Amino acid sequence: MNAQDMNKRIRLIMHLRTRGITDTNVLSAMERVPRDAFVPREVLDQAWEDTALPIGRGQTISQPLVVAAMTEGLKLSDRDKVLEIGTGCGYQTAILAHLSRRVYTIERHVPLQKDAEKRFDQLKLRNITALAADGMKGWPKINGIDQAPFDKIIVTAAASAAPPQALLDQLKPGGIMVIPVGPPGEQMLKSYQKNEDGSFAIKDLMPVRFVPLLPDIAKDEEAA
């Protein structure tokens, strides 16, 4: 990494601190994960800016402030097993991989999922399992093995009114889900902490703007 890139990286971390991100583990992970490895060449010069960027198929890599806020909201420990809905380019996944024991991540756009897996391999991130599937159904049972329930769940697309019941069901008692909820223009990032009796303590974190959470594996023509 050259000095200019290092300066950009440090400047972004300092900016996140001024915007209220206080978890030093989250800031350290965001400093270590090379965001420039996850953005298309056409926008490479903006990789370390605090802005969302297009990654193809009508999807984006989230603004670093939002990535940091979502990650901080999960209150991760290195013992956690995390489910991520919406792999995208894999940047948020890589942050999670640095902070948790294991990450299971689902993407409905097959080309994005395949590209993300290549990046995980290049960065030697060995604690990620990626799958192309319908994330609204949660992590499927594979070969008779059920990975649910999860300590933490993060959803990087917006539920229209409430989180899918399948995801709420896959969250452990005491676990936390962070998910944007609401129609376009009125989305709020929310934290759902599951109580022992199955009820939820819900907290608003920040206004956000995400693509909608959709069912099924995306068809080829759904590219914009």
Catalytic residue among 28, 62, 100, 191: 62
Is residue 62 part of the annotated active site? The answer reads: yes
CB 68 within 8 Å of CB 16: yes
CA distance 136 to 63: 23
Best CA proximity match to 194, nearest among 157, 156, 167? 167
Q: Any residues with CB less than 8 A from the CB of 169 and at least 6 apart, and which?
A: 138, 148, 149
CA distance 171 to 156: 16
Dihedral in degrees, nearest 10, Cα atoms 99, 25, 117, 12: 170
**Burial (CB count within 10 angstroms: exposed 0-12, middle 13-18, buried 19+), residue 31:** middle
In the chain the first and final C-alpha atoms are separated, in Å, by 34
Which residues carry out catalysis?
62
